[in-house]
Structure formats: structure tokens, C-alpha cells
Amino acid sequence: MNDFEKMVEAYESSGGQPEAFKDSDVAHLVVAENRVLGAHLVPGLNMDVEETEKGIRALLVVEEGAKIKKPVHLCFGVLPEEGIQRIEMRVEVKDGGSVSVTAHCVFPNAVKVKHLMDAEIVVGNNARYEYRETHFHGNFGGVEVIPRAKIVLGENSALKSFFGLPKGRAGVVDIDYDAEVGANSVMELLARVNGYGNDRIKIREAGCLKGDGSRGLLESKIALKDEARAEVFNEIVALGAKAWGHVDCTEIIRDRAFAKAVPVVDVRHPEARVTHEAAIGGVNKTQLETLMARGLSEEEATEMIVQGLLQG
């Protein structure tokens, strides 16, 4: 089995759809450590990828007015127990362009692995960008994932970003995203992370609703047990008239885990509105007892509630 096949196998075991790599209508990029193993383009999407001394540099451009029909599939990973993956990525969705990206980041054997992502995402006017990233880190907790993103969203556009780590250990996750949202555009940054053992999770997301009528949602849902720790710092600043934003953080903690949420709302226009809510606590008693009254054990009921939170 060659490296590409090994990556595709890991991708599949983390929930990916390997047939996407055989579909000529589906663009893809497969990167193992700092090596490009495969890439495929479709009309309307340009990709420039190079291996550098530091890692991988990638430029993805959706041409003006181009609607990419099928989601672009990205697969990043480190299969050995140790390694560093460093990716610099710039995404440009030109005016009127539209694309969905499904990314899987797989580190199934990680004992000492670092995954560093520096992203710039520029979405033009009347454009749409949807990015869904699912992680699988194995059960050793030996992964450090440090994604950074600067996002600029034009007018009448939409961006939705989802970071999911629903199963396995998190290791160290340190997310730091900044976004600027133009007039009448919508930004959603969603994170779902499961942590246990001595995992450490830190999420900082900041959205600036600059344009009139801009909207933003920062939503983090985290489940922790054992000695895991999580800190969430989510902030929305509303500058534009009729800007609307919401910051939401829900965390379930068990055992000796602990969680902290610091929602910040900063409104600088009298016609703007930003709300926040944060709920941290154990598994909801009524939920638990309802499922147990249908015959599930306490462990089964807890798992269903936690997975529901992380899938929601």
C-alpha cells in the first residue's frame, strides 16, 4: 500500500468518503506530513500547491462567478507516531463564486504530532464559502493542532466554518480565528470538540460585524471528562447599523474536567444587537433520566447526549 492509499484509508476510517478521490468531478488535495500526495482540479477552481522548506503552501482560488458543484475534498494528515505538518493556505472566493470544502485531518497514530495551519480566507461580494473540517486524532492524545485563520468577508456573502472533533482524544487544540464581515453578509464559526484524558482545548474566535446588516454567529460546543480542560474566548464586535450577532458556548463536563467560557459582546452602533449565552455543567439530569427510562444505561445515555451535543 503506497502513502496515498494509506492516507485514503485513514481518511475513510475518520468518516471520509474515499470514492470522492476517484470522482473526476470532485476536486481534491491530499497532503501527508509536508508532502503533496495527490491533487485534482475542476473547472472554476484553481489550486497552486508547493512544498516549501517549512511545509506546504497552498492557494485555492474560486474564479469569479464560478459555482463549484461538488464539495472540494481535502485530506491532511500525519500517519507516523511523530511528525510536524505545517500548512499555509490562502483561499480566495472571487465575486459571485461559491464553493464547499470538506476537510479531514487525520492523525490516527499520533504520539508526538504537530499540525500547524495558517489560513487567509478572502470571500468576495455575493460569494459563498462553506468549510467543514473534521479531525481524528486517535486515542493517545499526542497531537497538537494549532489553526490560525484571518477571514475577510465581502458584501452580500456567506461563510460557514465548522471544526469538528467528535471522537477520540483531542490532545492540544488551540484555535484562533479572526473574521471581518461586510455589509449584509453572514458569518458562522462553529466548533464541536470532545476532550478527555489530559486534553487541553482553547478556542478564540473573534468576529467583527463591520458592514450594515451583517450577521455573525460564534458557537462552541465541548464535552470534557477525566482531567480535560477547555477555555473558550469568543467575541463579537458590532459596528454596522442593524448588525446582529450571537455568541453561544455550551460545555458538558464530567469527572475532574473543567471548562471556562468568556463571551465578549461589544456593540458600537445603537441599531446593532449582539447576544450571548454560555452554559457549562454536568449532563442534564432530565435528559439522562428520560433516556434511562427508555432502557439505556447511564453510560449509554450519557454518550448519546454528548454525541448529540457534538453533532448539533
Partner 1 sequence: MNLLEVRNLTLKKGENEILKKVNLILEPGEVHAVIGPNGAGKSSLAYTIMGLEGYSPKEGKIFFEGEDITNLPINERAKRGLTLAWQEPARFEGITVEQYLKISTNGSKQYSSSGIELPRLTPEEALLKVALNPEKYLKRKVDKGLSGGERKRVELASILLMRPKAVILDEPDSGIDTVAIEKIFEIIEEFKRLGIGVLLITHSHKMLEAADCATLLCSGFVVKTGSPEEAAEYYNVRCLPCPSEVYPQEEEKI
- Dig out the grid coordinates for 282 from the structure: 454536568
Applying CB under 8 A, does 134 fall inside the site for partner 1? Answer: no
- Least spacing, CB of residue 295 vs partner 1, in Å: 4
Closer to partner 1 by Cβ: residue 80 or 312: 312
**In 3D, which of 149, 83, 151 has the Cα closest to residue 118?**
149
Applying CB under 8 A, does 280 fall inside the site for partner 1? Answer: no
Measured CA to CA, the distance from residue 192 to residue 248 in angstroms comes to: 12
Q: Which stretch binds partner 1 (CB under 8 A): 182-190, 225-233, 234-242, 289-297?
A: 289-297
Residues of span 177-236 touching partner 1 by CB under 8 A: 221
Partners of residue 308 on adjacent β-strands: none
Please provide residue 20's backbone torsions phi and psi, each rounded to the nearest 5 degrees.
Answer: -60, -30
Q: Which stretch binds partner 1 (CB under 8 A): 25-33, 78-86, 254-262, 301-309?
A: 301-309
Binder of partner 1 out of 19, 48, 51, 289 (CB under 8 A)? 289
Please list, in sequence order, all residues whose beta carbon lies within 8 angstroms of the beta carbon of residue 271, skipping any fewer than 6 positions away.
241, 242
- Least spacing, CB of residue 289 vs partner 1, in Å: 5
Please list, in sequence order, all residues whose beta carbon lies within 8 angstroms of the beta carbon of residue 139, skipping any fewer than 6 positions away.
168, 169
Applying CB under 8 A, does 255 fall inside the site for partner 1? Answer: no
Q: Which stretch binds partner 1 (CB under 8 A): 132-140, 155-163, 268-276, 304-312?
A: 304-312
Applying CB under 8 A, does 132 fall inside the site for partner 1? Answer: no
Binder of partner 1 out of 250, 272, 276, 302 (CB under 8 A)? 250
Residue 104: alpha-carbon gap to chain centroid: 10
**In 3D, which of 204, 192, 55, 69 has the Cα closest to residue 128?**
69
Under the rule (CB under 8 A), what is the footprint of partner 1? 221, 250, 284-287, 289-298, 301, 304-305, 307-312
